Amino acid sequence: MRQFAELVQTLGTSTKTNEKLDALSEYFSTANDKDKVWVIAIFSGRRPKRAVNSTQLWTWCNELAQLPGWLFEECYHAVGDLAETIALLLPEAIPSDASYPLHYYLETLISIEKQDEAIRKAFILRSWQTMTQPERFVFNKLITGNFRIGVSQNSMVNALAKTVKLDPSVIAHRISGNWDPMATSFADLLSENTLTKDYSKPYPFYLAYAIEDDVNSLGEPVEWQAEWKWDGIRGQMIKRNGELFVWSRGEDLMTDKFPEYHALRNHLPNGVVLDGEILVAQNSSSSQRGDEVFPLPFALLQTRIGRKNVTKKQLTEAPVSFCAYDLLEYEGNDMRETFLIERRVLLEKIVKSINHPALLLSPLIPFSTWEELANLRSQSRNMGSEGIMLKRKDSIYQVGRKRGDWWKWKIDPLVIDAVMIYAQKGHGRRSSLYTDYTFAVKDGDKLVGFTKAYSGLTDKEFAQVDQFVKRNSLEKFGPVRTVKPELVFEIAFEGIAASNRHKSGVALRFPRINRWRKDKTVNEINTIDDLKKMLELYGK
Amino acid sequence: MPLIEFSDKGLYCRAGGFYIDPWKPVDKAIITHAHSDHARWGSKYYLCHAQCKPLLQMRLGENNYQAVEWEEKIFVNGVQVSLHPAGHMIGSSQIRIEVNGEVWVVSGDYKIEDDGLSGKFEPVKCNTFITESTFGLPIYNWKPQIEIFQNIRDWVCRNKELGKTSVFIAYSLGKAQRLLQCLPEIGLPIYVHGAIWNAHQAIVSSGFQLPDVKRITYETPKGSYLENIVIAPPGTEGSAWMKRFYPYAVGICSGWMQVRGTVRRKNADAGFALSDHADWKGLLQTVTETTAEKVYVTHGYQAVFSRYLNEIGIAAAEVKTEFGNEEEENSAAVAEAQETIDNNQ
Ligand SMILES: [Zn+2]
Ligand SMILES: [Zn+2]
């Protein structure tokens, strides 16, 4: 326990990832095997059930420390963590050289879980009495169960990989899924033992970071695959050995929650693992969008998650589909090292051949320039999606959250309310209408133009604005008309930068009309100072 | 009439016509110790301990100072006044006043453990005791200095192994000198920030023996810090000034480091709960040993500590004062020393 307490101490105070990694690999190369198994379990979110609750803990602590309840509360208030408060308040321990190993405490906690309170209390008090203060802290933490100590599962996997000389992705896979830390040995956990082969075992998910830079920095659009980013539950669908398993990203086995998927057991070939989104989708028959995916709000999906038993009504009102976007295993082979475009071809083949409403294919978004994709992205909400996923076509399926090959480009635009001051006729289909506008914000009692924006209004709205422009023109400069500043629009954009070429001093990236603010007057629009503040915040 | 009144200028003894640690300029001030929340500028006369005087001179410049030794009885307007060691920092004292057999003691800041520099704290029997309560919560219980010192040395050695400089954050007046005592044993050169250098010089010139330190200036070659020791005051953490020590680890020496969250919030690599204030047990023990019938609790957890005293049968009340921001003092000192360095550049 002492060694574990030291590890937690280092992980908790170290501010550098490398030091945390070193501390972990040091632990994995020196601790006893049973403790290692438990550390893997704890850091991957597998904790024993609470043998005692927090009220019991602090009541017993107060008995020992002989403190009034209000004083305990004052202390808790100052510390902000129950486990630590108790560790600080307990009377000094009886010094002892004997430190029991971590697994002793955890396994005893499990074994007394259903015993009388007196037995559980005796165990806790006896443990406290022989522990140092850092040991008491981690012990209390293990009991109260909120063990956040600033180390990701990823770091743990990497440290383990370093110690046992295996690839991190192999380790991540082996420690995923269903296993009981009490019944699993360190060797079994990390070896590919056919006797204990777990057919349900999912692969660790590959997660994307949010894109921070300009998308242009990603290079050639042709190297990238774009899909909608769905607002459901990330999941893995596994068909092996004649059985179907569905895992959520939280690594919960959810097969039984979704009877819709059960039919797929007979359709999916063996040795297939799909990565995708669990979502409530509109039936293709009731959808006007043909066989396109159109998910219903996440709230509907939530009605399905909390329930043990699914009712008929729910099945009709909130039917769940699996929207597949990647193929991780095919014909029993791990496909993660092959290129995404190759995996995609096989994935499309499988989904199309099955042709079942419970299994959909996440469509690709065709685009040839980043500007075009940015425009499409602004319509994500109309697609029931929350943005765009960008995946490099030659990317392999990695483990955990990694930069570089996969990015999420969520719609979270910057917005500003502005008034239209100039209008110009559009091109092509819209060449007879005034569809290109320049917008201004307030600068004291003046208006200062700061951007043009094109897309974003419906045809009907364009017609209305066109009418307004024709009736409220003040001056004409060639094709441009100065318009009475009256119509207010919410302008959305992706980025902001300082600019000498613009009178306003700022240049916007991908500006577009988000919506027409008919509810606002020109007095309520944003100011040049608001823009400057945004420049300060985001203008890098 | 109470011997000491709580006025808007500070603790006032009407009978003697003096204030103790006033926070506004007064005619006569008796000073417990040289921290800026206790010793303020502008009074016409200061009475303090002999070891405190050079520190007041450093901080407040030339003034009308009178220095006394501990337990030396003097009379101010017929009120008997004596100073007693408070153990908080060099020259820190409790103030005992007596009129017609009634005794009041003002603790100032104090700690129980003898740190080897500040004099051994002695509880003083009195009728009324005015105590600080900076760490007046039972979560604050200090480890013995010898143990903390060992932890500190171990940490420095570990940093050296990792090729890093050990940067300590410690108050320039008091904590820095206390910390210094445990470092020479390691055998590494010790560099100090200008604010600590100034305090160091004042203390050495008043006759104290302190380990050798080097002042950090713009001329100090950057490489000289590597794997060695640096002491800097609070306020320098994360500043541009720190960059010269890279690669380094930061260890903060303060009682607040008892709580993990504080260490994390300060973004420190290590926290050492090395405090110059009494811990919970120390406060309780002292209050008991003074045998005071009435206790006034000032700066810190005054509400909590006075409530607890009342519950265990000791009459206590909380008093609001303007003591208790040593950290601010140091920020000012840091800025000052920073300026000196900048100007010397
Ligand atoms: Zn002080
Ligand atoms: Zn103080």
Return all residues near A100 (Cβ < 8 A) that are at least 6 apart: A1, A130
How far is Cα of residue B189 from the mean position of the Cα atoms in its chain?
Answer: 25
Two tokens, residue A80: 């902000």
What CA–CA distance (Å, rounded) separates A184 from A196? 10
The arrangement of secondary structure in A206-410, i.e. its CATH architecture, is: 2-Layer Sandwich (3.30)
**Cα angle A316-A321-A327, degrees, rounded to a multiple of 5:** 170
The ligand whose atoms approach the alpha carbon of B299 most closely is 2
CA torsion, points A100, A102, A104, A110, in degrees to nearest 10? 150
- CB atoms closer than 10 angstroms to residue A478: 6
**Rounded to an integer, what distance in angstroms lies between the CA atom of residue B267 and that of residue B168?**
13
Contact A14 B269 (CB under 8 A): yes
Task: Give B-chain residues touching A89 at CB under 8 angstroms.
Answer: 138-139
What's the CA-to-centroid distance between B322 and ligand 2, angstroms? 9
d(CA A450, CA A501): 11
Q: Burial code of B241-271, b = ≥16 C-beta within 10 A, e = fewer? A: beebbeebbbbbbbbbbbbbebbeebebbbb
Please list every residue in chain A whose beta carbon sits closer than 8 Å to the beta carbon of residue B139.
75, 78-79, 85, 88-89
Minimum CA–CA partner of B308 in chain A = A71
User: 3-state class of A56 per DSSP?
Assistant: helix
Q: Which CATH number fits domain B5-139+277-325: 3.40.50.300, 1.10.3290.10, 1.10.20.10, 3.60.15.10?
A: 3.60.15.10
A85 neighbourhood in chain B, CB within 8 Å:
139
pLDDT digits (tens, 9 = 90+) for B282-306: 999 999 999 999 999 998 899 999 9
Task: Find the B269 Cα to ligand 2 centroid distance in Å.
Answer: 27
For chain A, domain boundaries: 2-144, 206-410, 414-538
Tens digits of per-residue pLDDT, B32-90? 999 989 999 999 999 999 999 999 999 999 999 999 999 999 999 999 999 999 999 99
Residues with Cβ within 8 Å of B219's Cβ and at least 6 positions away in sequence, in order, are none
Residues B37-47: b if buried by 16+ CB within 10 A, e if exposed: bbbbeebeebb
CA distance A135 to A84: 10
**Does the beta-carbon distance from A12 to B260 stay under 8 Å?**
yes
pTM over 0.80: no
Q: Write out chain B residues lying below 8 Å of A14, CB-based.
A: 269
- List chain B residues with CB under 8 Å of A84: 259-261
pLDDT for A259: 86
> Considering CB atoms only, which of B258, B269, B311 is closest to A13?
B269
**Average pLDDT in chain A:** 84
Cβ-Cβ contacts under 8 Å, B137 against chain A: 71, 74-75, 78
Mean pLDDT of A338-348: 94
Q: For residue B137, give the nearest of A68, A75, A81 by CB distance.
A: A75
Q: Is B6 helix (H, G, I), strand (E, B) or coil?
A: strand
CB contact under 8 A, A78 and B137: yes
Measure A85 CA to ligand 2 centroid, in angstroms: 25
**Residues A115, A121: Cα–Cα separation, whole Å:** 10
Q: Does domain A414-538 have CATH number 2.40.50.140?
A: yes
Banded model confidence at residue A299, pLDDT cuts 50, 70, 90 = low
Distance from CA of A80 to the nearest CA of B (A): 8
Q: How far is the CA of B300 from the centre of ligand 2 (A)?
A: 9
Q: CB distance B264–A81 less than 8 Å?
A: no
CB atoms within 10 A of CB A88: 24
Per the document, the length of chain B is 345
> Which residues numbered 302-321 in B keep a CB inside 8 Å of some CB on A?
304, 307-308, 311
CATH number of B145-272: 3.40.50.10890
Query: Within an 8 Å CB–CB cutoff, is residue B264 touching chain A?
Result: yes
* Cα separation, A250 vs A270, whole angstroms: 24
Do B261 and A80 lie within an 8 Å CB cutoff? yes
Instruction: Please give the torsion angle defined by the CA atoms of residues B176, B178, B183 and B185, in that order, rounded to the nearest 10 degrees.
Output: 160
The one-character DSSP state at A222 is G
Quick one: which ligand is closest to B86's CA? 1
State the residue for tokens 């560790």. Answer: A87
- Mean of pLDDT values over A188-193: 73
Q: What is the pLDDT of residues A140-168, one digit of tens each?
A: 988 987 666 667 788 888 898 888 888 88
Cα-to-centroid distance, B325 and ligand 2 (Å) = 7
pLDDT score for A415? 86
With contacts defined as CB-CB under 8 Å, which chain A residues touch B307?
70
Q: What is the pLDDT along chain B (345 residues), one digit of tens a residue?
A: 899 999 999 999 999 999 999 999 999 999 999 998 999 999 999 999 999 999 999 999 999 999 999 999 999 999 999 999 999 999 999 999 999 999 999 999 999 999 999 999 999 999 999 999 999 999 999 999 999 999 999 999 999 999 999 999 999 999 999 999 999 999 999 999 999 999 999 999 989 999 999 999 988 898 899 999 999 999 888 788 898 999 999 999 999 999 987 887 788 889 999 999 999 999 999 999 999 999 999 988 999 999 999 999 999 999 988 787 554 444 444 444 444 443 343
Run of H or E including A78: helix A69-79
Integer angstrom CA distances of residue B133 from A20, A500, B309: 37, 58, 12
Cβ count near B58 (within 10 Å)? 17
Tell me, what's the pLDDT at A474?
84
ipTM for the assembly: 0.91
* Cross-chain CB nearest to A75 (options B138, B270, B307): B138
The CATH 3.40.50.10890 domain(s) of chain B lie at 145-272
Q: Shortest Cα distance from B269 to chain A (angstroms)? A: 6
Between β-strands B102-106 and B93-99, what pairing exists: parallel, antiparallel or unpaired? antiparallel
Whether the predicted pLDDT of A120 surpasses 80: yes
Find the farthest-apart pair of alpha carbons in chain B and give their distance in angstroms, rounded.
Answer: 64
* Ligand approaching nearest to the C-alpha of B175: 1
Best to test chain A binding among B260, B297, B308, B318 (most A CBs inside 10 Å): B260
Residue A91 has pLDDT above 60, yes or no: yes
CATH number of A2-144: 1.10.3260.10
Q: Write down the residue that tokens 């979502």 correspond to.
A: A279
Cβ atoms of A53 and A82 closer than 8 Å:
no
The two three-digit tokens of residue A454, written as one number: 């094109």
DSSP track, A269-336? PSSEEEEEEEEEB--TTT-TTTT---BPPHHHHHHHHS-SS--HHHHHHS-EEEEEEEEEEETTEE-T
Give the separation between CA B172 and CA B32, rounded to whole angstroms. Answer: 18
Taking the C-alpha atoms of residue A351 and residue A275, their distance in angstroms, rounded to an integer, is 12
Q: How would you class B319 by CB atoms within 10 Å of its CB: exposed for 0-12, middle for 13-18, buried for 19 or more?
A: middle
- Ligand at minimal distance from the CA of B173 is 1
C-alpha closest to that of B89 among B35, B134, B130, B18:
B35
Q: How far is CA B197 from the centre of its chain?
A: 17
